Structure 1
Amino acid sequence: MAEEMVAKRRRQQEPTGQPRRIPSQQRGRDRFEKILAVASELIEKNGSDALKMSEIVEKAELSFGALYQYFPDKTSIIRTLAERFNEQGRQCVADELAKVRDADNLRTALCVIADEYYAFFRREPVMRDIWHATHTDKLLQEVDAEDMEFHAQALFSVLQRLWPERTEAELLAVARLTMQLLAAAVRYAVSLDGEKGAQAIALFKRMQVADIDRLLG
């Protein structure tokens, strides 16, 4: 109990939302990964709102001091998991946009991205929960904002190449809104059952293709 109180006072003096440090040695990396694995199991079982540092300590068989050595609070754990999932999404977007050579390619790429994101969140219940957390926790909202801007800038680069006669401001506005709408459509679709979710994504893809054609075609 004394160790827990000391660790609690220490973390209250530090900014939250970020890992305290990323280990460089193998033993530390193994412990770091174990903490994240246990947290993922608990989130999948009970949701991120119910995640408790005491449960992680118990299930990972660590001391509070060992846990707080890497993560000052549960927000820092959720943020780390969110950023890892985001990396996978960024790779998907980068891979598809790299294939774009013309407007038809772009429409295909955006449809594939919507399908991939929908499938990803369907098969990853932990990520669905964390994605929700990044929209309800102020400290985590910046993670989502950074990720959305990354995708918008990636799409913006493609739009500049395909429509060089359009202004940067116009293309950036289209890129940002397109990615925001795509994310909103996926979030809505995964809230539905499988069949209705798939129908929602299919409808979104038809609407998005029409919008791109009307705005920039």
Structure 2
Amino acid sequence: MQESSQGAGRAALRRVPKQERSRERIGEILKVAKELIGQKGIDAVTMKEIASLSGGPIASVYQYFPNKSAIIGMLYELYVDDVRELIAGNLARIETAEDALNATDNLFDIYYERMRQEPATQDLLNAIQADKVLADLDIAETRAQAEGFYQVTQHFVAENLRENYADTLFVMFHMAGATLRLALMVPDEAAQISAQFKSIVRTHATYFLTGKFPATV
């Protein structure tokens, strides 16, 4: 992405849609942009092409989005909304330390399967690293996800370990994203990469949640 986001997502909209027709127009623009990204990659997609395939003149795209980065930003926000819902659903089912351990595996597997099925999301998550505003937002979102997991599971952890536990969760959530991208880039090794990462996470999580490292064979 060569353009720099002055804002991101909804904050970058030139006009806030108030009528249903305007919201539908924005939805169609985003739908087409995501499809094109999945087919061609972000760098190859143009505003003109998005306008043409979404059924309107290019002015109708610029009416809402100042540049392509603003569209990418909103697609990222929609992705974040979906991920938050996914995490919330898993956190709501945690009642025991074992549930928390299983949740780390489940979340990773669901993330991976969704990204594997959606090439546009893969390209989107890779591209945000090239945009400082979006990259900063991604770090903040990762921190929030880790904090949410911490709040639900901290009572399983000894009080003297909780600060270290919170720090470790942030690192692990960040590493999960990088591991997912790596697994998708080398699909022939994806199973081994995923298994290795989940093993590392479970080892650390077991220590914090049960007070001991898992037994080795």
Instruction: Report the TM-score, using the length of structure 1 for normalisation.
Output: 0.85
Deviations 1:28-86 (A, max 9, x none): 11111111111112211211112211112222232233211111100010111111112
Deviation at 1:150, TM superposition (A): 1.9
| 1:206 aligns with one of 193, 199, 212 | 199
Question: What's the counterpart of residue 8 of structure 1?
Answer: none
Q: Is the 8 A contact 1:190 1:197 kept in 2?
A: yes
Tell me the distance in 2 between the aligned counterparts of 1:164 and 1:87: 32
- Distance change in 2, residues 1:16/1:51 (3 Å): farther
Q: For residue 21 of structure 1, give the secondary structure of its aligned residue in structure 2.
A: coil
- The corresponding residue for 2:143 is 149
- Stretch of structure 1 that moved more, 108-117 or 159-168: 159-168
| Contact in 2 for aligned 1:134/1:143 (Cα 8 Å) | no
Q: Does 1:116 align with 2:110?
A: yes
* SS, match of residue 16 in structure 2: coil
* Equivalent residues of 2:97, 2:153 under 8 A apart: no
Q: Shift of the alpha carbon at 1:168?
A: 5.1
Residue number in structure 1 paired with 2:92: 98
Which residue matches 1:172? Answer: 166
Q: RMSD of the alignment, in Å?
A: 2.1
* 8 A contact 1:121–1:128 mirrored in 2: yes
Give the letter aligned to residue 197 of structure 1: A
Alpha-carbon shift at residue 203 of structure 1 (Å): 2.1
**Alignment partner of 1:126 out of 120, 127, 137:** 120
- After TM superposition, give the deviation of residue 215 of structure 1 in Å: 4.3
Matched pairs, number: 204
Q: Secondary structure at the residue paired with 2:18?
A: coil
In the aligned structure 1, how far is the partner of 2:16 from the partner of 2:113?
A: 30
Q: Which runs of 5+ in 2 are unaligned?
A: 212-217
SS where residue 70 of structure 1 aligns?
coil
Taking the aligned partners of 2:173 and 2:208, their CA distance within structure 1 comes to 15
- Runs (4+) off by over 4 Å: none
Equivalent position amino acid for 2:73 in 1:
R
Question: Counterpart of 2:87 in structure 1: which amino acid?
Answer: V
CA distance in 1, matches of 2:139, 2:175: 14
Taking every aligned residue pair, what percent have the same amino acid on both sides? 30
C-alpha distance after superposition, 1:100-146 (max 9, x if no partner): 22221111000000100000100011000000011122232123123
Unaligned runs of 5+ in 1: 1-11
Which AA in structure 2 matches 1:200?
I
